[in-house]
Amino acid sequence: MKNIYAIGVGLIGGSLAIDIKKNNPDAIIHGISRKDATLEQALSLNLIDKKATLDDLVNADLVIVSIPVDATVKLLPTILDKIPDTALVVDAGSTKVDICKAVENHPKRRNFLAMHPIAGTEHSGPTAAIAGLFNGKTNIVCEIEKTTFKLQEKALKLFGDIGMRMRYMNPADHDKHIAYVSHLSHISAFMLGKTVIDKERNERDIFDMAGSGFASTVRLAKSSPEMWTPIFKQNKSNVVETLEEYITNLTRFKEFLKDDNFEAIYTEMKSTNHIKDILNGIN
Ligand code: NAP
């Protein structure tokens, strides 16, 4: 893999570029982005070796697409139009149904592999890119049977070499499950942050009184709205379902409190402590 094109050089694209370059020092990482300033930043941070444009994709061996999911849906067919027959294209989008649908009938569908690396932070842009982000993390791979064997092998080696474990899922199952474990957590953090900001007008009070519990619970509220709005749009029906269940639980908790039913509150929390066993071993 000599010529690698990173379309999107933020947290995910930049972090992938760092790890892949480390394992493939002879590769040239070409960066493509909307704004030239972003590419300049990626160059100065050594995330990429060169700036490029979509027309340069004729020279690609590998294309990694790490831009917001609405932009991925729009751009992916054009990317496949431009690449040579031998190139592999992967995307890192947090939704999979609309992305897979966008290229289902494309003549170069077999050059594409849909992925979702389950790794990240609440930060964005080139300065957020870090080495080793994917080590020990899961990579959800969708519709692998639609990619040529040769390119499947290349992709699995590339992502295995940066420490990722592959899990295979169809796009609909991916979007359903990820709504619970990722999308709902982000909404919950955003709305918790909003509730506190709306009520505690004095930011100094928030800062002085908020313990590390609040900071860690609300951490995801620092995430980029530019990335998250299209995710909620594409996964709307699953996300609405998770929200309804979450709101039911919040309402139940409120009713228990109003009714002085502390036994029920104790039992709810005790049974939820089981999350410790489920998450044991993650980070
Ligand atoms: P990011 O740090 O905000 O980087 C995204 C980059 O995409 C930006 O640098 C931006 O560059 C570029 N971009 C934005 N809109 C674009 C458009 N319309 N066309 C072309 N480029 C555009 O975001 P990220 O966290 O790396 O996320 C990238 C992808 O990975 C998303 O699909 C996201 O769903 C997925 N993902 C994210 C995480 C996470 O935790 N953050 C985890 C797994 C997967 P410009 O400044 O040039 O606009």
pLDDT digits (tens, 9 = 90+) for 6-39: 999 999 999 999 999 999 999 999 999 999 999 9
- Say yes or no: CB of residue 10 within 6 Å of ligand 1: yes
Q: What are the start and end residues of each CATH 1.10.3660.10 domain in the chain?
A: 174-282
Q: What is the 3-state secondary structure (H, E, C) of 80-107?
A: HHHCCCCCEEEECCCCCHHHHHHCCCCC
Distance 271 CA to ligand 1 centre (A): 37
Best substitution site from 19, 34, 78, 223 to test ligand 1's pocket, by max atoms within 8 Å of Cβ? 34
Query: 174-282 adopts what CATH topology?
Result: 6-phosphogluconate dehydrogenase C-terminal fold (1.10.3660)
Residue 100: both structure tokens together: 């897979």
> Which three-class secondary structure state does DSSP give residue 63?
strand
Q: Specify the ligand 1 atom closest to the Cα of 15.
A: 26
What's the pTM value of the predicted model, to 2 decimals?
0.94
Q: Which residue has the tokens 């930060």?
A: 123
The answer to which of 21-35, 143-157, 158-172, 192-206 has the lowest mean pLDDT is: 192-206
Q: Specify the ligand 1 atom closest to the Cα of 118.
A: 43
The answer to which of 75-79, 123-127, 196-200 has the lowest mean pLDDT is: 196-200
Summarize the confidence of residues 201-226 as an average pLDDT: 83
- Say yes or no: CB of residue 163 within 6 Å of ligand 1: no
CATH code, 3-170: 3.40.50.720
Mean pLDDT of the chain: 95
- What are the pLDDT digits (tens) for 38-66? 999 999 999 999 999 999 999 999 999 99
Residue 29: both structure tokens together: 């990482």
Summarize the confidence of residues 72-94 as an average pLDDT: 98
Q: Are 21 and 27 in contact (CB under 8 A)?
A: yes
Q: What are the start and end residues of each CATH 3.40.50.720 domain in the chain?
A: 3-170
CA distances in angstroms from 75 to 34, 114, 232, 251, listed in the order given: 12, 14, 19, 42
The widest CA-to-CA distance across the chain, in whole angstroms, is: 68
- What pLDDT, on a 0 to 100 scale, did the predictor assign at position 281? 65
> Does 153 score more than 90 pLDDT?
yes
- What pLDDT, on a 0 to 100 scale, did the predictor assign at position 184? 97
What span, in angstroms and rounded, lies between the C-alpha atoms of 221 and 229?
13
Best substitution site from 32, 35, 40, 67 to test ligand 1's pocket, by max atoms within 8 Å of Cβ? 67
- What pLDDT, on a 0 to 100 scale, did the predictor assign at position 213? 83
Summarize the confidence of residues 216-221 as an average pLDDT: 93
